[in-house]
Structure 1
């Protein structure tokens, strides 16, 4: 084909095509070329070079033209830029074909450039890339989880928050189907949620947004996470079916757990109110225009409150206090309630509470402020009041018996002792005045009579001491046990000499106690150690104390006191001892392990010791081995509270004199 024929053909082509010589001059062009590219250079002459229309800073188009002609080969490319100085860049798909000379078919002098304008497509792609970049930036910026699902229910993209909430790596999410078994959902009430009911699939199926739906979803091997979901279907222009769904959700697990905890708390509170044995009523304050409380309106009452006030909750809730129970104002409760709201100070009182039927019940009324109102608790104390009244009567009877016991003790110390003294005195006179006239049998009878009278007198004295341990006790005061033991040893000095015994005393403590009873306690324990010694073995006795912190004791001794510091008093001897089976028996009144012929006494000494120790809130115990000796351990509180220091009856001068006289005897 000659170039002239080629020019005619190019002019009729529907695509942008030009015929170029070796210098790039345009020798022919299609109408589409003129309308697509030449129009971008207004005023360009008819005979113009391609390189006058476009800039070719990198020489790419020059090189392509030169290679096409020199190498006689077809060249092509995708989206190469043609930069028009005034109109800007245009991107084209191109193909350049060599054209031989009219005179010599083997010589190439021209080239035909075929182009397809791809500028719009490139701009569209670039815009799409920009939109996608902005979308990705948006996904990464928002704190909520963002997820893109296509029309097939497959997750195509997500931000970094989604793996954190779902507890799965991104690779397990992207490409998975919402109906896969890994996606297990929950309704807000905790029941299973079918995958087809997931909010984002509902949005796709119903073709409309789903907003604010709450659902739970299980991460692998973890408790469910709760999310609030917004799902919006995505549509192409003029399309009725969405091509996907954009899902945005926030993690509300903590909020959901708080709501569940709050609901649980409400359920527990409701259960407590329902099952409470106390009546509970909540009132809100009713104020006038000046803000003064003029009444209270009931907002809640529990079943026990209904029972005590003899009215149903339906009748009481919403009703004014003064309309329903005007008697409460007469009892001073209304003014007390007002004061509770005004000051915030709780109120408590015991009274006969009036009900709606005109009856009354002994109640303990307690009121506390709640916002602009009060919560009132009514506790039925009728049984307690009756018990207190019965206890008061019993205490009065007990006091009467105590008085009778004190009277008996007085009689025992005086009236009963007097006949014994006369028996002893007259028997002595018989022996002195008529001894030579009485035979040996008569003298034996007189000796036994005198011995019996003496033992009876001692027994009465011991009973008197035993009874007065609590009835005629002295207040607890600081007592130096060193001084007490010194006095006891002075009293027992003759007995110690008689048995050739030794008593070693350590540095003893000072405690709060009844000094007279401490003297009695130590005199009995040391006296017993001297009495029950082995024949031909001089008694050796040690007395010591240590102060012990109660918290350091494992379980601690049975001490009925709140004192944190305890005194351990220990008396050890090398006497005859006894078997362990008699430990409890020896502290019982009138119990003896030996006959009167072996050892003197009435069997009251250790009983008195235990009574004294118990009165001081302490305990006494013993460890003993036959023929080796015994160790008595006494635990006493180092100090006493004011309540435990109270005595039922303070000793008068007569009682004090009698007790000291008995101890001296």
Structure 2
């Protein structure tokens, strides 16, 4: 009696490992809403996994199993493009070449969606395409987000165009009648003031004051609207010299409130020089405006490096405000105090925030009512190439 003996323990272990790996792969594909497919090109026979059938919302008996049956799921407007892309790939590709593309489909249940197809090509010994194996994924959610983002982008572009149109109207059509009001008001003041009674003089002063406020508001709104559309290219800016220039411009106001301003050495960064001057002008004007009567105003300006950012810190001992209003002060027209107490348009800090955003930075404030405020502005020391290109707008 003859017999053979074979130890199949190792083979069984290998088969078990392969089985477990396949199960993990199937679970991963299911979790990613992906399925597999195989196409025998010479026989024109396609095999779809259950997950692929699920992506197309059909049962196995509803799929014809051919390349043409697959193309039939493509929407009419995308079908020819998909076919041309695949045929071009078959003609030009080499062994193990990979194709990846997306297209819209009409599912078996009549709904529409987007799929992503990826496949590897295999050739025979004569370099003829014989087989493709790949995966299919439902990317409808991602495409939906992309479409929504495109819509938001289009809406933003439309809003920007309207803002530019408003800026044109504000700089021409609105200011012209305002200038006439101011001109005739001055004439009344100079030539007819003696014949006006006390009430008439009061009305005239109110009219001139309102016209001046309107003029200031238009100028500030123009500045706000032009931060992005009329920005200059980024270049090397010495922030210390910029602050000194601003202090010269504000010397009358500084003397009026008898403010003590201490400026430490500031950094040199890549920025829009004119907008940096505008930024400091608004920050310092804000500190000079909201001082406490009877308390000597002190303002400190310094900078520090935080990773790749230059943090500019402006500290004052003015009236301060409740920290709960932090977000409001950077909104256009938002005011925490009445115009009769503290004049202004409510646009200055909104301009600061827009300038900082254009420079890919951040601005925040810490304040306490009756003690003062600390404004912190973070600006990149070096702008990225993409940011520099994006912000070269005129």
- What is the distance in 2 between the residues matched to 1:462 and 1:366? 54
Q: 1:247-267, CA deviations, whole angstroms, 9 ceiling, x for partnerless residues? A: xxxxx6xx8766544321111
- Please identify, of 331-340 and 448-457, the stretch whose mean Cα deviation from structure 2 is larger: 331-340
Q: The residue matched to 2:360 in structure 1 has which SS?
A: coil
Q: The residue matched to 1:415 in structure 2 has which SS?
A: helix
In structure 1, the gaps of 5 or more residues are 1-207, 215-227, 229-251, 287-293, 550-564, 652-665
C-alpha contact 2:36 2:136 (8 A) present in aligned 1: yes
Q: Greater RCO between the two (CA within 8 Å, min separation 6)?
A: 2
Where does 1:172-191 land on structure 2 (aligned, <5 Å)?
A: none
Q: 2:48 pairs with 301, 304, 321, which one? A: 301
In structure 2, the gaps of 5 or more residues are 73-78, 125-130
Q: 1:66-97, CA deviations, whole angstroms, 9 ceiling, x for partnerless residues? A: xxxxxxxxxxxxxxxxxxxxxxxxxxxxxxxx
- What is the distance in 2 between the residues matched to 1:282 and 1:610? 55
C-alpha contact 2:101 2:116 (8 A) present in aligned 1: yes
Q: 1:367 pairs with 119, 136, 151, which one? A: 119
Residue 385 of structure 2 is aligned to residue 650 of structure 1: no
Cα separation, partners in 2 of 1:338 and 1:211, compared to 1, 3 Å: farther
Q: 1:413 pairs with 159, 164, 171, which one? A: 171
Q: 2:361 pairs with 596, 618, 631, which one? A: 618
- What is the distance in 2 between the residues matched to 1:315 and 1:211? 49
Where does 1:142-181 land on structure 2 (aligned, <5 Å)?
A: none
Q: 1:194-229, CA deviations, whole angstroms, 9 ceiling, x for partnerless residues? A: xxxxxxxxxxxxxx9994567xxxxxxxxxxxxx5x
Where does 1:548-567 land on structure 2 (aligned, <5 Å)?
A: 548-549=306-307, 565-567=308-310
Residue 23 of structure 2 is aligned to residue 267 of structure 1: yes
- Matched with 1:586 is 329
Once the two structures are TM-superposed, the CA of residue 500 in structure 1 deviates from its matched residue by: 2.8
- Matched with 1:533 is 291
Cα separation, partners in 2 of 1:258 and 1:508, compared to 1, 3 Å: farther
- What is the distance in 1 between the residues matched to 2:195 and 2:229? 49
Cα separation, partners in 2 of 1:278 and 1:340, compared to 1, 3 Å: farther
C-alpha contact 2:303 2:310 (8 A) present in aligned 1: yes
Q: 2:239 pairs with 454, 472, 481, which one? A: 481
Cα separation, partners in 2 of 1:442 and 1:481, compared to 1, 3 Å: same
TM-score using structure 1 length: 0.49
- What is the distance in 2 between the residues matched to 1:315 and 1:533? 78
- Matched with 2:374 is 631
Q: 1:299-324, CA deviations, whole angstroms, 9 ceiling, x for partnerless residues? A: x522243366798768989x785898
Q: The residue matched to 2:266 in structure 1 has which SS?
A: coil
Q: 1:127-175, CA deviations, whole angstroms, 9 ceiling, x for partnerless residues? A: xxxxxxxxxxxxxxxxxxxxxxxxxxxxxxxxxxxxxxxxxxxxxxxxx
- What is the distance in 2 between the residues matched to 1:432 and 1:384? 68
Q: The residue matched to 1:349 in structure 2 has which SS?
A: strand
- What is the distance in 2 between the residues matched to 1:345 and 1:518? 53
Q: The residue matched to 2:384 in structure 1 has which SS?
A: coil
Once the two structures are TM-superposed, the CA of residue 567 in structure 1 deviates from its matched residue by: 1.7
Q: The residue matched to 2:192 in structure 1 has which SS?
A: helix
> Rg bigger for which structure?
1
C-alpha contact 1:503 1:542 (8 A) present in aligned 2: yes
Q: 1:49-70, CA deviations, whole angstroms, 9 ceiling, x for partnerless residues? A: xxxxxxxxxxxxxxxxxxxxxx
- Matched with 1:347 is 99
- Matched with 1:336 is 89
C-alpha contact 2:55 2:137 (8 A) present in aligned 1: no
- What is the distance in 1 between the residues matched to 2:346 and 2:296? 23
Residue 282 of structure 2 is aligned to residue 282 of structure 1: no
Equivalent residue pairs, number: 378
Higher helix share: 2
TM-score using structure 2 length: 0.79
Cα separation, partners in 2 of 1:647 and 1:413, compared to 1, 3 Å: farther
- What is the distance in 1 between the residues matched to 2:316 and 2:31? 62
Residue 254 of structure 2 is aligned to residue 496 of structure 1: yes
- What is the distance in 1 between the residues matched to 2:176 and 2:71? 71
C-alpha contact 1:473 1:647 (8 A) present in aligned 2: no
- What is the distance in 2 between the residues matched to 1:363 and 1:504? 62
Q: 1:597 pairs with 315, 318, 340, which one? A: 340
- Matched with 1:572 is 315
Q: 1:228-283, CA deviations, whole angstroms, 9 ceiling, x for partnerless residues? A: 5xxxxxxxxxxxxxxxxxxxxxxx6xx87665443211111233445652342134
C-alpha contact 2:103 2:116 (8 A) present in aligned 1: yes
- What is the distance in 1 between the residues matched to 2:60 and 2:280? 68
- What is the distance in 2 between the residues matched to 1:273 and 1:313? 18
Superposed CA RMSD in Å reads 4.0
- What is the distance in 2 between the residues matched to 1:575 and 1:325? 72
C-alpha contact 1:481 1:508 (8 A) present in aligned 2: yes
Residue 192 of structure 2 is aligned to residue 434 of structure 1: yes
